[in-house]
Amino acid sequence: MNLRHEILLIEDEKNICNFIATTLRTQNYKVSFAETAANGLSLAASGCPDLILLDLGLPDMDGIDVIRNVREWSNIPIIVISARTQEKEKVEALDAGADDYITKPFGTSELLARIRTALRRSSLNNGVPVSGQSRYTAKELVIDYDKHTITVAGDIIHFTQIEYKILTFLARNAGKVITYDTLITHVWGPYADSNNRILRVNMANIRRKLEQNPADPQYIFTEIGIGYRMIDNENL
């Protein structure tokens, strides 16, 4: 672990702040705090943290607006930690630019795993963007973007053009929740029908080809009512 990774926590509940800070410091992360959106945005701009943990229910500004503000000038990974459990609110946060969403209460193991994934995706240590990766590898799955090949346990698996586009988009964003609307827009364009039935049909076909047991997927996970998350890229 890079001992210099700094995490900015924007949260107005002191008990939660203390709990998270203690957890992170035992893992050798540096932690800075902000109890308001205004202070958090100021610290984000001046301190350039490696990752932001953001509560949505802040006293001076909704967290969704904080995400949009940060995304105007930075790709700093943002993980939302919120008591809001409605699918609509999760989708709104992810579509605004959040990288992940954890619902309170949460376990320390889950929080730390999500942080590690977000930091790996950002490629902070070597400055190489995820989009610049030439291949994706996870367990027995290998996607070679240059050769346009997908193999599982060494066997080439054939996908339709649409299936390949869905799969590679998820792979290039591995570890991040991609909402249904984002995926539909990327694959079928901005004027596509937002009904995700055709997406579900294609995903079922992808899983049938990719997964040993489609009912218990190992590579692509469903975030019910929100979208999909691909297992993290082991190359990062």
pLDDT of 176 reads 87
Q: Please, what are the domains in the chain?
A: 6-122 (3.40.50.2300), 131-230 (1.10.10.10)
Token pair for 113 = 């795993």
- Output the average pLDDT for the chain: 87
Please check the confidence at residue 174 and state whether its pLDDT lies above 70.
yes
d(Cα 203, Cα 188) in Å, to the nearest integer? 14
Averaged pLDDT, 220-224? 92
Residue 7 Cα to chain centre, angstroms: 16
As beta bridge partners, residue 152 has: 141, 155
DSSP 140: T
Write the pLDDT tens digit of every residue in 38-63. Answer: 999 999 988 888 899 999 999 999 99
Let me know: does 103 contact 77? Beta carbons within 8 Å.
Answer: no
pLDDT at 4 over 80: no
Question: Cα 139–103–16 angle (5° rounding)?
Answer: 115
* Mean pLDDT on 212-231: 93
Query: What is the mean predicted confidence (pLDDT) over 80-109?
Result: 90
Cα 38 to chain centroid distance, Å, stands at: 24
pLDDT classification of 191: cutoffs 50, 70, 90: low
Residues whose CB falls within 8 Å of the CB of residue 92, separated by 6 or more in sequence, listed in order: 64
User: Of 56, 52, 29, 236, which Cα lies nearest the Cα of 134?
Assistant: 236
Q: What pLDDT score was predicted for residue 123?
A: 56
Q: Is 171 exposed, middle or buried (0-12, 13-18, 19+ CB in 10 A)?
A: buried
pLDDT tens string 110-162: 999 999 888 887 753 334 444 456 889 999 999 998 888 999 999 999 999 88
19 or 186, which is more confident: 19
